[in-house]
Amino acid sequence: MYERLFPELVQLELLFEYPLNQEIVFTMGSYQTKLALHYLSKKNIYPSPLTDKRELQSLLKKLMPVSCGKDFIRLGSDGDGGYLLPDDLAGIKACFSPGVDCVSGFEKDCANMGMNVFLADNSVEKTPETHDLFQFTKKYLGVTTNDDFMTLDDWVTSSMPESQDELLLQIDIEGFEYEVF
């Protein structure tokens, strides 16, 4: 049915039958582009222009590890949903974690360290695990606040009004991170 309403989506799907080593240029209007990108994200496809190979090689030559002077600890599961962080979390009062889905081991580890944990995801009804320090909001993180979305600023302000505490942000919202920032 969408083929009649949005022929651009059919054209985009045809593009993806070829290797993603070519630059994809969107000629659609802003609304159509967002709709197309939303549709493609449901298929775990996140098209973007490719960076020139020489520019990427130049950047990689400049990147070097820098010691933070702390050992690393792992929070969350051993697979997806687990993260390595410097062992410097003392004093962090809260963790904000949009993109709950079906894994919350990282967030549970944060709560077990005494952090208040604020979770958000409009695609699930509740968190997969529970903890006394969990607070769940059934909204997506986005660029505006309305019935289904909230901005990061609005979320933090409503969750911790007037707070000057140190906070932790763990964000995994399936490619929409760039839009939020």
Same domain, 127 and 44: no
d(CA 168, CA 113): 13
Length of the chain: 181
d(CA 47, CA 32): 14
**Torsion 9-13-14-18 (CA) sign:** positive
Q: Residue 113 corresponds to which tokens in the numbers above?
A: 């360290």
Q: Minimum mean pLDDT among 28-37, 56-65, 116-125: which range?
A: 28-37
Domain that holds residue 140: 72-180
Same domain, 168 and 89: yes
- Do the domain assignments include residue 150? yes
Same domain, 136 and 167: yes
Residue 167 pairs in a beta bridge with 94
pLDDT, tens digit, 9 for 90 and up, residues 7-32 = 555 555 555 443 333 334 344 456 66
- Do the domain assignments include residue 38? yes
Same domain, 83 and 152: yes
Same domain, 53 and 89: no
Same domain, 83 and 163: yes
Question: Which alpha helices (H) appear in the chain, and where do they start and end?
Answer: 2-5, 7-15, 30-41, 53-62, 105-112, 152-159, 177-180
* R_g of the chain computed on alpha carbons: 20
Same domain, 27 and 92: no
pLDDT, tens digit, 9 for 90 and up, residues 114-144 = 999 999 999 999 998 999 999 999 999 988 8
- Do the domain assignments include residue 67? no
Last residue of a domain, one of 62, 88, 103: 62
Same domain, 53 and 109: no
- Do the domain assignments include residue 170? yes
| pLDDT mean over 63-73 | 88
Structural domain total, the chain:
2
